[in-house]
């Protein structure tokens, strides 16, 4: 059997940058022959010589070749950049291109969302996560910036660099995974034997973020993140989470000493505050997010349970498939990478409108972009 000959990256016209990852940058590209637009994720093999070829990339390729689902980004091919037929200097993963990511959409004021968008994308996200979990894969970096949206309304889960296969016998998994704002409390409290339920906490944060158009739990380091979780959801209780000390080794450092120190959940009030459209957050939405943000992983809803048992998807307005969504957003594209420039332009326009007054305060914290070292 002949080995596969990888094409050279020169078959694509490289255009502007779309994003930045742990092991390389992502660019928009166009096939010189077919003119098809793609996303090129550059893996610099020389820069990462201390690791050898990045294990995260090897895993990403293996996982994406094994998964085929409408809500999971498609890896089209792998191409290389060579110098005089030498060892490839860089390897590029070629993905299908999508005009938007969720962070770009939520951070672009010109884009007007409807309840239909939020409900459809919530369901599509859950369906993609369910497929992944059924196939024993955990993503470990679900966040709004890694959720791509096409002009046809389809949602795709992307950036699989921290994903890995999983089984119940795994005792010691990498702990510092998942970007801080989307990281579940068991990881913040030192858990190393975890399950696909860590992804479900992230899904709950993403769904809440779609209603708010800003992050739900926006800490700036591990300590502030766990503090914010407790202030928003209250302290976990022994009756709800009886084995918390075994699951969360560092819980004893945070456990309230008296009943007076025990915080109660303010999630309902938080979900209904500072909203563009408060009436969209119905009781069924709150119930869905509460169950996705359950402290006890065994009680936290799975993707399948959220899809089939949440009344949110069955209340009016009824769930719409991607093809029925209104996708004329008035902007050609919106990605996390382009947000600072777009937001600066919007602030300048707003400042001109108020005739030379002070610029509006824009102190929204940026989500931590750094990822952990290559995981086990």
State which fold the 100-323 domain adopts.
Transferase(Phosphotransferase); domain 1 (1.10.510)
Give catalytic residue positions.
Answer: 141
The two three-digit tokens of residue 362, written as one number: 């824009």
Q: Helices (H), strands (E): how many in the chain? A: 12, 10
Do the beta carbons of residue 368 and residue 180 sit within 8 Å?
yes
In the chain, residues under CATH classification 3.30.200.20 are 13-96
pLDDT band at 289 (very low <50, low <70, confident <90, very high): very high
* pLDDT per residue as tens digits for the range 152-179: 999 999 999 899 999 888 878 888 899 9
| CA pair distance 292, 306, nearest whole angstrom | 8
pTM of the model: 0.88
- Spell 209-234 as b/e; 16+ CB within 10 A means b: bbbbbbbbbbbeeeeebbebbbebbe
pLDDT band at 274 (very low <50, low <70, confident <90, very high): confident
Please check the confidence at residue 358 and state whether its pLDDT lies above 60. no
Using CA atoms, how far apart are residues 212 and 210, in angstroms rounded to an integer? Answer: 6
Fold for 13-96, please state it.
Phosphorylase Kinase; domain 1 (3.30.200)
Domain with CATH 1.10.510.10 in the chain: 100-323
Mean pLDDT of 107-132: 97
Is the pLDDT at 45 greater than 90, yes or no? no
């Amino acid at each position: 059997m002949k080995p596969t000959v990888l094409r050279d990256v020169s078959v694509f016209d490289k255009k502007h940058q779309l994003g930045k990852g742990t092991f390389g940058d992502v660019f928009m590209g166009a096939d010189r022959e077919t003119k098809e637009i793609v996303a090129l994720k550059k893996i610099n093999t020389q820069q990462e010589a201390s690791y050898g070829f990045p294990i995260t990339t090897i895993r990403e390729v293996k996982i994406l070749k094994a998964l085929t689902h409408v809500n999971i980004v498609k890896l089209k091919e792998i191409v290389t950049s060579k110098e005089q037929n030498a060892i490839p200097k860089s390897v590029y993963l070629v993905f299908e291109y999508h005009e938007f990511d969720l962070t770009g959409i939520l951070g672009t004021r010109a884009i007007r969302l409807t309840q239909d968008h939020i409900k459809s994308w919530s369901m599509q996200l859950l369906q993609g996560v369910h497929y992944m979990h059924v196939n024993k894969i955990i993503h470990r970096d679900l966040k709004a910036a890694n959720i791509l949206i096409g002009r046809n309304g389809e949602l795709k889960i992307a950036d699989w660099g921290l994903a890995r296969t999983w089984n119940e016998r795994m005792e010691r998994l990498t702990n510092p995974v998942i970007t801080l704002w989307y990281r579940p409390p068991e990881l913040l409290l030192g858990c190393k034997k975890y399950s696909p339920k860590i992804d479900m906490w992230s899904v709950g944060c993403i769904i809440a973020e779609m209603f708010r158009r800003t992050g739900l739990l926006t800490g700036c380091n591990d300590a502030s993140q766990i503090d914010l979780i407790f202030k928003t959801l209250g302290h976990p209780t022994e009756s709800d989470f009886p084995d918390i000390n075994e699951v969360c080794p560092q819980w004893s450092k945070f456990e309230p000493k008296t009943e007076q120190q025990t915080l109660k959940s303010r999630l309902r009030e938080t979900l209904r505050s500072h909203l563009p459209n408060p009436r969209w957050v119905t009781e069924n939405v709150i119930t869905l997010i509460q169950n996705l943000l359950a402290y006890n992983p065994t009680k936290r809803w799975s993707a399948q349970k959220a899809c089939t048992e949440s009344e949110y998807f069955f209340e009016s307005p009824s769930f719409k498939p991607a093809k029925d969504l209104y996708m004329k957003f008035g902007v050609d594209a919106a990605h996390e990478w382009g947000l600072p420039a777009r937001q600066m332009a919007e602030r300048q326009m707003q400042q001109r409108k108020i005739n030379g007054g002070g610029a509006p305060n824009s102190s929204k914290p940026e989500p931590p972009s750094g990822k952990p070292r290559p995981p086990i």
